[in-house]
Chain A
Amino acid sequence: MSVIEVKNLVKKFKQPDRKSDLVAVNDISFSVEQGEVFGLLGPNGAGKTTTLEIIEGLQKPTSGETAIKGISTQKELEKVKNLIGIQLQSSAYYEYLRLGEILELFGSFYQKALPADQLLDIVNLREKKKALIKQLSGGQQQRFSICAALVNDPEIVFLDEPTTGLDPQARRLMWEFIKKINQEGKTVVLTTHYMEEAQYLCDRIGIMDEGEIIALDTPKNLIHQLRSSSRIHFRATERFDLEVLKKVEGILEVKSNSENYYHLKVSKGNEALPKLYKWAEENKVFMIDLEVISADLEDVFLALTGKKLRE
C-alpha cells in the first residue's frame, strides 16, 4: 500500500537576474510504500529538498500534486501535518528552552503527542533532558532534531539529509536510530548525497539529478542493471598487450597506466575472476595487489549521468 503519492510535480523558481525560470523539480512522479525506507539520492541542487518540502506542505508546487495517505497536501494541509514528522535540513530549536521543554512545547501543537522521556529514549538522549541545545554536540543536536520529528508519533517521517556534517562514527550511530524508527513501523523518507547511506538504509532509492528522477529501484537492482557490476584492479610484473586481455570472456574494458597498473571493468566479478586467473597462468603474467571492487550507487550515478555524485 502506498502512503505517499507524487504526481507530475513541477517547481519553478523565478530568477531575478535571468529571463528563464529555474526548474528545481521537473515533472516527477513516484510513490512510497508503507513501512519502507525511501531515499532520494542526488548531488546538491538536484531538487531533493524541494521535492520533500512540497510533500510536507512547506512549499507550494508550480504544478502537480502530492498526497499523504490519500489526503492532498495542497488541499488539506492541517490534516497532513498531523500525520507526518519533519526534520529539516538545517533548523535550530529554541535557544533558551531545555530539550524536555522543547518536546513538550512542540507536542502541544499536535492533537496527540508522545511524552518527552519516551522520545528522548529513542535517540539515547534521556540524560540530556535538562540541557539546552547549545550544550549538545553536533551529532546530539541532529539526533534531537530527529526525535523532535517524532513528537506527534507520526506514521511517516521525513528526514532531510539527516547525517550531513556528522563524523563517520556519529553517522553510523544515526543510521542505527533511523533503522530503529523504521522497525517500529514508521515509513521513512530521507534525502542524502551519501551513496553508502542510501545503500545501507534504503529499501528503495530514487536517484535525482537536475530536477528529475533518473532511476528508481532497490539498491541491488540499480547496481545489477549496470553493464559492469565490478571492477578489478591489479599490478603486473611486466607489460602486455591490452587487446589480448580484452578477448577474455566477461571483461568489458581495460585501461592501464605507465606503472603496469591495470583497471578492468567486468560484467560479473565472480565469473570473470577465474577466467582472468586462467589467462594469467597461460600467459605467464604474474598479478600482484589484485582487488575486486563491486559496483555501488556511485557507479550507477556515474553510468546514468556521466557525473560523479559529489563534485
Chain B
Amino acid sequence: MFKLLLANIKMTFRDKQAIFWSLFFPMMFIIIFGLFDFSKMGDAKYVIFNETDSEISQQFQQGLDQITFLKKQDVPESLDQAKSKLKEGDIDLIIVVPKDFALPPAENNPAAIPPGNNDSAQLPKPSPIEVFYSESNITVNQIALSVVDKFIDRMNMQIGQTPTLFSYNAESVQTKNIKYIDVIMPGILGMAIMTSAVIGIATGISQYRERKLLKRLSATPLKVRNFLMAEVFSYLFLNIIQISLIILLARIAFDVKVYGDYFLIYLICIIGSVIFLNLGFAVAGYAKNTKTAESLSQVVTMPMMFFSGVFFSTEALPKIVGKVVEYLPLTPMVEALRKISINAGSFQDIWKQLAFMGIWIVISFLIAWRTFRFKD
C-alpha cells in the first residue's frame, strides 16, 4: 500500500491540472484579496475654499486635518470647477468657509454674556459654512457630513462655553490590526481543501473507472481497502502541502498572522479533508461518468464556497438560508479556522465546531459507503 501511496503522490505532482486547481488556484485567491486595499475605499476626498485666515478658520482646518478619514485635495481654481469635479466623482465633498467666518469682537464675545442669558439672537452671526456633496456615494458623504457637523457643534459649544455633561470613551476591542485578507485567509484554507478533495476524488476515481483502471486493479490481489487508504492518505498529504503554502504565501506577501496554534489549524483542516474526501467518494459512486462527476462535485462545492462564510459573513444571508448554511460542513470548518487564526482561540473555543464536523465525518462516510462501488 505504501508503494501505491507514493505512486499516487508522484502522479498528483505530475498532473499539472491537479496542481493548478489544488495549489495555485487558492493561492491566486490569496493574492487577489490581499491586493484589494479595503481601507482605501472608505476615504472621502474633499477640497476646501478658505476665504478667510481668521483664527477660527485655522482651527477648523486643523480639526479637519486630524480626521484621517478626510483627505484634503488641491484646491481647484474656482468653485464651479470644483463642482464639476464633484459631479464626476473625483472628489466627494466641497467645503466653503465664508469670509466672515471669525470670532466676534471681544465685547460681543459670548463668554462675556452672563450665563442664563440665552438670547443668542443678539450675537452677530457669521455666514454659514457651505458644504456641497454628491448623492452618488451616500455612505461616504453621510460620514463626512456628520464629521463636519460634529466639528461645528463642538466649536459652537466651546465658544458658548456649554458645559460638557455627557462624554464617552471609545476603545477598539480589536487590539490587532485585522485586515480583510486576515479574515479571508482561513476561508480560503477551507475552500481549497473542500474543492481539491471533492473534485479531486470524484473526478479522479470516476476517471479510473471510466478507463477501466479500477477493473484492472481488481484483477490483481490489491485489496480495495488498501486502494482507498492510499487515495485518502495521498490527498491528506496534498492538503497539508496546500494549507502550508497558503499560510506561507499569506504571511510573506500580506503579513497575515496566525494568532492561534498551528497544530489546531492543521487538525481542523485534516478533519475537514476527511469529510470532503468522503463526499468525493460518494459523488464518484453516484456519477455514471467523469463528466457527471465533474458537474456534480461543482453542485456540491459551489453553494458552500459562497454560503459558508468563505468570502463574507453568513450573517449577511437571508435568515432561512443562513439557518440551512449552518448545517453545511464547510461552515463550522471556516468558523473554527477563523477562531484559531484571528482570535487565537484554543481547543475549548472550537470544540462545538469540531463536534459538528465529527458528525459530518460519520454522515459523509455513511453516504460514501452506500454509494461507492469499486467496479462498474
Interface residue B251 (Cβ < 8 Å from any Cβ of A)? no
- Is the CB–CB distance between B211 and A81 below 8 Å? no
Interface residue B215 (Cβ < 8 Å from any Cβ of A)? yes
A-B contact count (CB 8 A): 57
Partner of B220, one of A81, A90, A92, A97: A81
Q: Chain A's nearest CB lies how many Å from the CB of B355?
A: 39
Interface residue A93 (Cβ < 8 Å from any Cβ of B)? yes
Main secondary structure of the interface of B (DSSP, over half): helix
- CB-CB under 8 A from A105, the residues of chain B are 3-4, 7
- Given contact pairs A94-B213, A108-B3, A108-B4, A88 touches B219 in the complex (Cβ within 8 A): yes
- CB-CB under 8 A from A81, the residues of chain B are 219-221
Q: How far is the CA of A81 from the CA of B224 in the complex (A)?
A: 14
How many of chain B's residues touch chain A, expressed as a range? Answer: 20 to 34
A78-102 near B? 1/0 per residue, CB < 8 Å = 1001100010101111111100010
Interface residue B216 (Cβ < 8 Å from any Cβ of A)? yes
Q: Chain A's nearest CB lies how many Å from the CB of B330?
A: 29
CB-based nearest A residue for B210: A92
CB-based nearest A residue for B213: A92
Q: How far is the CA of A86 from the CA of B15 in the complex (A)?
A: 28
- Given contact pairs A91-B213, A94-B213, A86 touches B7 in the complex (Cβ within 8 A): no
Interface residue A13 (Cβ < 8 Å from any Cβ of B)? no
Q: Chain B's nearest CB lies how many Å from the CB of A58?
A: 6
- Given contact pairs A82-B221, A96-B10, A110-B221, A91 touches B4 in the complex (Cβ within 8 A): no
- Given contact pairs A94-B213, A108-B4, A101 touches B10 in the complex (Cβ within 8 A): yes
Q: How far is the CA of A91 from the CA of B220 in the complex (A)?
A: 14
- Is the CB–CB distance between B11 and A78 below 8 Å? no
Residues of A within 8 A of B (CB): 56-58, 78, 81-82, 86, 88, 90-97, 101, 104-106, 108-111
Q: Chain A's nearest CB lies how many Å from the CB of B343?
A: 41
- Is the CB–CB distance between A109 and B215 below 8 Å? no
- Given contact pairs A97-B7, A105-B3, A105-B4, A92 touches B211 in the complex (Cβ within 8 A): yes
- Is the CB–CB distance between B222 and A109 below 8 Å? yes
Q: Chain A's nearest CB lies how many Å from the CB of B326?
A: 40
Partner of A94, one of B11, B218, B220: B11
- Is the CB–CB distance between B11 and A91 below 8 Å? no
CB-based nearest B residue for A86: B219
Interface residue B319 (Cβ < 8 Å from any Cβ of A)? no
- Is the CB–CB distance between B7 and A56 below 8 Å? no
- CB-CB under 8 A from A106, the residues of chain B are 220
Q: How far is the CA of A195 from the CA of B311 in the complex (A)?
A: 65
- CB-CB under 8 A from A82, the residues of chain B are 221
- CB-CB under 8 A from A92, the residues of chain B are 211-213
- Given contact pairs A104-B3, A105-B4, A58 touches B221 in the complex (Cβ within 8 A): no
Interface residue B14 (Cβ < 8 Å from any Cβ of A)? yes
- CB-CB under 8 A from B222, the residues of chain A are 109
Q: How far is the CA of A303 from the CA of B217 in the complex (A)?
A: 40
Partner of A109, one of B14, B211, B212, B220: B220
- Is the CB–CB distance between B15 and A93 below 8 Å? no
Q: Chain B's nearest CB lies how many Å from the CB of A151?
A: 8
Q: How far is the CA of A96 from the CA of B11 in the complex (A)?
A: 5
- Is the CB–CB distance between A101 and B212 below 8 Å? no
Interface residues of B in 155-206 (CB under 8 A from A): none
Q: Chain B's nearest CB lies how many Å from the CB of A189?
A: 14
Counting chain A CB atoms within 10 Å of each CB, the highest count among B3, B4, B11, B221 belongs to B221
Partner of A96, one of B14, B212, B218, B219: B14
- Is the CB–CB distance between B216 and A93 below 8 Å? yes
Q: How far is the CA of A22 from the CA of B231 in the complex (A)?
A: 36
Q: Chain B's nearest CB lies how many Å from the CB of A186?
A: 17
- CB-CB under 8 A from B211, the residues of chain A are 91-92
- CB-CB under 8 A from B220, the residues of chain A are 81, 106, 109-110
Q: How far is the CA of A108 from the CA of B215 in the complex (A)?
A: 17
- Is the CB–CB distance between B212 and A90 below 8 Å? yes
User: Besides the contacts A94-B11, A108-B4, what 18 more A-B pairs have beta carbons closer than 8 Å?
Assistant: A58-B218, A58-B219, A78-B221, A81-B221, A82-B221, A86-B216, A88-B216, A91-B213, A91-B216, A94-B7, A95-B11, A96-B12, A96-B15, A97-B7, A97-B10, A101-B10, A105-B7, A109-B221
Q: How far is the CA of A86 from the CA of B14 in the complex (A)?
A: 27
- CB-CB under 8 A from A93, the residues of chain B are 213, 216
- List, sorted by A's number, 27 A–B pairs whose CB atoms are closer than 8 Å: A57-B219, A58-B215, A58-B219, A58-B375, A78-B221, A81-B220, A82-B221, A86-B216, A88-B219, A90-B212, A92-B212, A93-B213, A93-B216, A94-B7, A94-B11, A94-B213, A96-B14, A97-B7, A101-B10, A104-B3, A105-B3, A105-B4, A106-B220, A108-B4, A109-B217, A110-B220, A110-B221
CB-based nearest B residue for A152: B220
